[in-house]
Structure 1
């Protein structure tokens, strides 16, 4: 399943700290069953194990059709199946080493959790072939500029070959429920471990990544402060739209798509409470593009949740926000590569 249905999201994701950030967009009370998937506070580790990871990834031989004998085993190949449903999550060489969710995402995180770090969300996507756990601080942080956010660390891995086991820091912007780059203009720290027989979890690096959650609050707050100090006039905003989303000269589908995107960005910039309070600043530009991509950009069905989560873990969020700042830098003639404006050389 590549498109996550509302039923799947209500049964296979767990959302914590809803007293601090409200319910997820996919929440439907009628689809909750006997046990809600939303928690007012932290998500108990045992609940993640029981509700999401209560099955195993099994390695099975791969057979192909042999016109002479019926079936023949494919040498050097293995299939990774769910033990509870038999779903084939991926086919790999014998050198592929599955990273069980409980061992890599729960037990490791449990050993590293500090007293004030807790599981804030967890879930399965792609019929269980991808999983994530998010470690968060209990309280939201509000900057003097009115930006409310939650620093956290994603841990994610897969059984379909789409992800190495990854631990990566990020920020959730509360007003729009967006994931944003940890340092905005610089790549967030991450640890990646390949699925190989020689892979060993680098515990010291993971501990450093978790410690960064604390430092991240100050870093992100400073970035917001600096970007809010950079003025973007109406004329500069129009120049940014021209550079970020140019309109083709010839009429047709490409021009229509560009015009629709520009209209959506303009609406966010001028009227939407997720962006408009910071209109006229570089932070407002970043917020407009990030919010459009998360919530407005055309994505069919509930696939948006899968895309947004994968973008957060794989670095797409970093590239999104860095790309916005790079484009804005050219328009302003100022470098925003470290979230502090200075003249371009």
Structure 2
């Protein structure tokens, strides 16, 4: 189910540093010094508390507990007795040590739904410059956590192409499994070590991504290859040809020719451009439900980062690498 950006006291639960983000909402911080400062600005300074559950007849439910938001009393989820919530300040605070030494910079933070899913985007230094051109992809870590038992605390490696704000979805473990899980322990030395390990993984990951992106940008697919690539990224239904799938593939082809930044000579008509036609469609054009433009933008973000949109982009990445071999 899609979730809208959470709000607290009529304020959107989000902060950002630098440029105004995709929807123009949230509290701006020039340079948040700590995760706690970012969390407070984003309205994420609440606790996820466990509460006993009773039936409408006042009968206790011994095997389940409700996760309740401390400031609003909203129920964020129902979990088993063994569930231990990871608080927002714990989820994001372990990176403070490497933020302090300049290895990382908090960029954006927010929540979805009633606050059951929280996330923080942090920027790594240096960028990926495709074939030495002006096509730049920035390196980010996306930390996400849930308070409804649906997912653990995860760190996703999330490259973002600057010219169009497209987010790539690249599997970090042998082609499967977005990101890595973080084990929480209370002592500072462990948190610093975990943060340094994540940065080490990110450095190796992005070194490999630079090589792979350049490979895509050196490959020029034939019209037949391109048609088959888009067909595999978004195939027809098992029942037969689909008008909707056909229209989406035609939109891929339009964006391949006319997408943002696709006229750069170094990348025009390459497999890298074909991949970005898919990511641009998912991030900016894919139809999304919602009563307001903000609702639709929020739901599109969740899909592009965590849901079906992310899976489409991951498939597009894997198929593009296969085509460029």
Match of 1:257 among 231, 244, 248: 244
Extract unaligned runs of 5+ from structure 1: 29-35, 330-334
Secondary structure of 2:12's partner? helix
Match of 2:301 among 292, 298, 308: 308
Q: Which residue of 2 aligns with 1:64?
A: 55
Q: Which residue of 1 aligns with 2:95?
A: 109
Q: So what's the TM-score if we normalise by structure 1? A: 0.76
The 3 A distance-change label for structure 1 pair 245 and 111 is closer
Structure 1 residue 326: Cα displacement:
4.5
Task: Return the alpha-carbon distance in structure 2 between the equivalents of residues 10 and 224 of structure 1.
Answer: 39
Map Cα deviations across residues 272-317 of structure 1 (whole Å, 9 max, x no partner): 2244543421111111111111211111233453453465368974
Task: Return the alpha-carbon distance in structure 2 between the equivalents of residues 78 and 183 of structure 1.
Answer: 33
1:230 aligns with 2:219: yes
Extract unaligned runs of 5+ from structure 2: none
Task: Return the alpha-carbon distance in structure 2 between the equivalents of residues 55 and 297 of structure 1.
Answer: 33
Larger Cα-atom Rg: 1
- The 5 A counterparts of 1:197-236 are 200=185, 203=191, 204-236=193-225
Secondary structure of 2:198's partner? helix
Secondary structure of 2:122's partner? strand
Would the aligned equivalents of 2:98 and 2:104 in 1 still touch at CA under 8 Å? no
Structure 1 residue 239: Cα displacement:
3.3
The 3 A distance-change label for structure 1 pair 255 and 179 is same
1:158 aligns with 2:146: yes
Map Cα deviations across residues 93-129 of structure 1 (whole Å, 9 max, x no partner): 11110001112212x1113433241111111111111
Secondary structure of 1:238's partner? helix
Structure 1 residue 206: Cα displacement:
4.1
1:137 aligns with 2:124: yes
Task: Return the alpha-carbon distance in structure 2 between the equivalents of residues 324 and 2 of structure 1.
Answer: 22
Q: Which residue of 2 aligns with 1:48?
A: 38
Secondary structure of 2:181's partner? strand
Q: So what's the TM-score if we normalise by structure 2? A: 0.80
Aligned length: 309
Map Cα deviations across residues 72-113 of structure 1 (whole Å, 9 max, x no partner): 21113211111111000011111110001112212x111343
